[in-house]
Structure 1
Amino acid sequence: MPCDLCHTEEENDESHRDSAVHRFNYMLQQYQKNKRQCTDSNGVELQIDVKKLNGFSYDFTREPNNKGTHYLNMTPKTLKQHGNQVEFECRIKNARTRKRDPIVVTYAGVLYPYMLYSMTDPGGHTDQENFFVVEAGRTNTYTVKLKLEENNVSNYKIPILFTVQTLNKNLDKKDKGEQFSFARSIVVAIHDLVIKEHQIEKSPFTNNPWGIIENLMPPVKVEKLKPGYVTLNNYVEFWHVLLWLEEMCTEIGLSCYNMENVNLAYVDGGCLKLEVPGLAEKRPSVIKGDRIEIKVHGDHTAYQGVIFKVEDKYCVITGLHPDIVTNIQQCPKLEMDVRFRLGRIHYERMHRGVEQVEINGFLRQLFPSDAPRKNIRQPITIGRNELFNKQIYTNQEQMTAVEKIVNNTSKGAPYIVYGPPGTGML
Structure 2
Amino acid sequence: MDEEYPQGRCMICNYSRVQEDVDHESTYDHKFNFRLWEWKHYKKALVKNRHGICLEIKHLGCGQSPCTYEENVNKGLCAITVHPNQYENHRHQLIFDCLIKNSSKNEIYITDIYLVHPTNLFQICEGIVSTGGYIKLETGAQYKFQVKYAKNPLNIGSIQNPVCINFQSNADPNANKQKSHEDQFTIARNLYVKITEYTEEAISTERSPFSNEDWETNSEEIKVVPPTQRLKYVNKYPIPDDYVLPLKFGLRLASGLNHQLIHTIQQLRNLMQPNHVTLHNYRMYFHILLWLEEMGEILMLKRYNMSNVLLTVKSDILELEVPGLAEKRPSLIAGDMIDIRLHGDHTCYRGVIKKINDKTIEIGYIHEHLINYVKSDPKTEMDVRFVLGRLNLERQHEGIDRTFLSGMVPYLFPTNNICRPNTIRHLPDADYINQTILTNQEQKKAVSSILYNSSGNVPYIVFGPPGTGKTVTIVEAILQLKRKTDKKILVCAPANAACNMIASKLMVHCNRSELIRVHSETQDMQSIDRYLRDYSNIEAGIFIKTSAGKLNTYRIVITTLVLVGRYVNDYKPDVVFVDEAAQASEPECSIAIGFLKNSKKQLILAGDPKQLGPNCCSNVAERYGYGKSLLERLMEFDIYQPQNPNYPYYITMLKLNFRCHPLILEIPNKLFYEGHLIASSTAALNDPVGQYFVFNKNLKKKKTIGGRAIEFFSVISKEKREGRSPSYFNPAEVEIVMKYVHGLLTSRFDVQQSDIGIVTPYIRQVHKIKYKLKDANYEEIEVGTTETFQGREKRIIIISCVRAQDSLLKFDREYNLGFVRNSKRFNVALTRAMSKLIVIGCPSVLCNDSKWLEYIELSEENEAYFGAPFIRRTTEVKEQISRRIGNIQLIDSQFRHQQNIS
TM superposition score normalised by structure 1: 0.51
Q: 1:265 to 1:46 in 2, by over 3 A?
A: same
Q: Does 2:36 match 1:28?
A: yes
Q: Which protein has greater RCO, CA pairs closer than 8 Å, 6+ apart?
A: 2
| Cα distance in structure 2, aligned partners of 1:187 and 1:199 | 21
Structure 1 counterpart of 2:147, from 126, 131, 144: 144
What secondary structure is seen at the aligned counterpart in 2 of 1:66?
coil
Match of 1:96 in 2: 104
Q: 1:61 to 1:261 in 2, by over 3 A?
A: farther
User: By percentage of residues, which structure has more helix?
Assistant: 2
What secondary structure is seen at the aligned counterpart in 1 of 2:10?
coil
Match of 2:52 in 1: 43
User: By percentage of residues, which structure has more strand?
Assistant: 1
Q: Does 2:81 match 1:73?
A: yes
Give the residue type in structure 2 aligned to 1:46: L
Give the residue type in structure 2 aligned to 1:107: D
| Cα distance in structure 1, aligned partners of 2:13 and 2:31 | 10
Bigger shift: residues 125-134 or 31-40: 125-134
Deviations 1:165-220 (A, max 9, x none): 21258x9xx99552121121111222244659x9799xxxxxxxxxxxxxxx9x99
Q: Does 2:162 match 1:159?
A: yes
Match of 1:366 in 2: none
Deviations 1:355-396 (A, max 9, x none): xxxxxxxxxxxxxxxxxxxxxxxxxxxxxxxxxxxxxxxxxx
Match of 2:414 in 1: 257
Give the residue type in structure 2 aligned to 1:257: P
Deviations 1:220-248 (A, max 9, x none): 9997532469xxxxxx9998664344468
| Cα distance in structure 1, aligned partners of 2:187 and 2:60 | 20
Give the residue type in structure 1 aligned to 2:185: F
Deviations 1:56-115 (A, max 9, x none): 64421112x611001112222222222111222212222112xxx222222211111112
Match of 2:69 in 1: 60
| Cα distance in structure 1, aligned partners of 2:243 and 2:570 | 19
CA contact 1:73–1:189 (8 Å) conserved in 2: yes
Structure 1 counterpart of 2:11, from 4, 7, 11: 4
Deviations 1:323-358 (A, max 9, x none): xxxxxxxxxxxxxxxxxxx99979952699xxxxxx
Q: What are the within-5 Å matches in structure 2 for residues 197-212 of structure 1?
A: none
How many residue pairs get aligned? The number is 286
| Cα distance in structure 1, aligned partners of 2:120 and 2:198 | 26
Give the residue type in structure 2 aligned to 1:92: I
Match of 1:226 in 2: 241
Structure 1: gaps (5+ residues): 202-216, 230-235, 285-290, 309-314, 322-341, 353-426
Cα displacement (A) at 1:150: 1.8
Q: 1:247 to 1:10 in 2, by over 3 A?
A: farther
Give the residue type in structure 1 aligned to 2:108: I
| Cα distance in structure 1, aligned partners of 2:18 and 2:464 | 47
Cα displacement (A) at 1:137: 1.4
Q: Does 2:123 match 1:118?
A: yes
Match of 1:184 in 2: 189
CA contact 1:73–1:194 (8 Å) conserved in 2: no
Structure 2: gaps (5+ residues): 1-7, 206-216, 221-234, 245-389, 432-447, 492-501, 503-560, 572-902
Cα displacement (A) at 1:143: 1.3
Q: Does 2:135 match 1:132?
A: yes
Give the residue type in structure 2 aligned to 1:106: T
Structure 2 counterpart of 1:109, from 107, 114, 131: 114
Indicate the RMSD between aligned Cα atoms, in angstroms: 5.4
Q: 1:245 to 1:106 in 2, by over 3 A?
A: farther
Cα displacement (A) at 1:40: 0.7
Give the residue type in structure 1 aligned to 2:425: A
Q: Does 2:572 match 1:349?
A: no
CA contact 2:399–2:565 (8 Å) conserved in 1: no
Deviations 1:259-291 (A, max 9, x none): 8998523699999444668x5xxxx5xxxxxx8
Deviations 1:287-313 (A, max 9, x none): xxxx8555799x76353559x9xxxxx
TM superposition score normalised by structure 2: 0.26
Q: 1:3 to 1:246 in 2, by over 3 A?
A: farther
